[in-house]
Structure 1
Amino acid sequence: MGKWTALVGGLVGGWSFLKIPLEGSFLSAIDPVVDGIGIVATVVFSGALIYFGVRDWLQK
């Protein structure tokens, strides 16, 4: 159960990096970096969820 929770947490964290509003703040200069981290985290963690889900489904 812990593996699934960590993967979902990483996916939600990546999604929140994409949705965080940085324009108008002193962090607006790093907005492209935060978006890039969010995209990579979302893709990696969703891919891991799909992989582990299919693997566990086929092992049953």
Structure 2
Amino acid sequence: MTSTAFITHRDCQLHDMGSYHPECPERLTAISDHMIAQGLDSYFAYHDAPLASFQH
């Protein structure tokens, strides 16, 4: 069976846009927890994203 890539980095948990914004570290945790609770985590191939750079 083919896996779907799930690409993220632990530093994403440090990205805080403020309480007014829906994009928050808790959202990433909730998504991951839900995938595990539904038994979907085994369908993903987890990869660490490389750090971004300013080079083009």
Structure ID, larger Rg: 1
**Whose helix proportion is higher, 1 or 2?**
1
**Structure with the larger RCO, 1 or 2 (CA within 8 Å, 6+ apart):** 2
Task: Give the TM-score normalised by structure 2.
Answer: 0.35
**Whose strand proportion is higher, 1 or 2?**
2
Task: Give the TM-score normalised by structure 1.
Answer: 0.34
